[in-house]
Amino acid sequence: MYRHKLLISLVFALLVAACSTSPTGRPQLITKSDAELIAQAESTFNAYRSTLPLSTNRAKIDFVACVTEAVVAELEPPYSDIEWELAIFEDKQVNAFAMPGGKIGVYTGILEVTENEHQLAAVIGHEIAHVTARHVNERASRGTLTGIGIEALAVIMGGGYTGGAYTASQVMNAGAALGLQLPMGRGQESEADVVGLEYMAKAGFDPRAAVDLWQNMAAKAGKVPPEHLSTHPASETRIENLVSQWQKTLPIYNQALADGKEPACRKTW
């Protein structure tokens, strides 16, 4: 009887926790506190800054900062109240990330794939959307149930550009459940694409450039795992989803231009 009552209490607690919804209206299970994840993210970000080489290329720093600041300026509370911090790592890795608490990391390798400020804005908007949609919180909360640790979570959340997405076997080795983490990861990536597209459009960046970005990524990726065995959607799927959002995001972009939002971020190298 005691175990029965305990189970009912646990189910009720999880249902209460699941009352949270994502920016697109998707129900979320959130049991990890923001404060806990922000503290962990700050520690991890500081570790990256102290161990990975930071870029000293002024042109690259100014370009990434210009795009990032323009996108961040379009966020709403509570994320507009955060003092966002940017680090640009001198590394050939084609990747970028954002962490709870407003930490953004960009590897210079991704600048070789993004042809202009619009394509980089698609990357920055996507990564920031992971934070505003509380994807890390959601995965960490699910991770508590599936035995996945915060370190493994950080690994799985990474990748996704040019074939960097983790395969089923790698996720399983990290302690996650195939039937839960992989579909969840793909859903979050698609959601970050949609939300990030709105962010970049509001800032005055052309949302159509996101398609060009993923075409570049697909060309560079080479052989990748099948979509159903990956943490990220296939490039073809992403492109279709992005195109389906143009009817909504192009008017936002046109309004931003009409309002004079045309960030002067240019590649000069």
Model pLDDT for residues 25-41, shown as the tens digit of each residue: 777 777 777 888 888 88
Which of the four pLDDT bands, split at 50, 70 and 90, describes residue 188? confident
* Beta-sheet pairing, 20-21 with 103-107: unpaired
What percent of the chain shows pLDDT beyond 70? 71
> Omega before 226 cis (within 30°)?
no
Does the annotation mark 189 as catalytic?
Answer: no
What's residue 179's pLDDT?
37
As a whole number, mean pLDDT of residues 176-199 equals 70
Average pLDDT value for the chain: 79
Residues near 12 by beta carbon (within 8 Å), at least 6 away in sequence? none
Return the H-helix or E-strand segment holding 176: none
Return the pLDDT at 253.
Answer: 98
Confidence check: pLDDT of 181 > 50: no
**In this predicted structure, what is the pLDDT of residue 230?**
43
Closest CA to 102 of 125, 84, 86: 84
Beta-bridge mates of residue 99 = 103
Q: What is the pLDDT of residue 222?
A: 59
**Adjacency order of strands within the sheet including 103-107:** 85-89, 103-107, 96-99
Beta-bridge partners for 54: 89
pLDDT digits (tens, 9 = 90+) for 52-62: 999 999 999 99
Taking only the tens place, the pLDDT of each residue in 99-130 is 899 999 999 999 999 999 999 999 999 999 99
Q: What is the pTM for the complete model shown?
A: 0.79
Q: Which of 74, 117, 127, 191 is catalytic?
A: 127
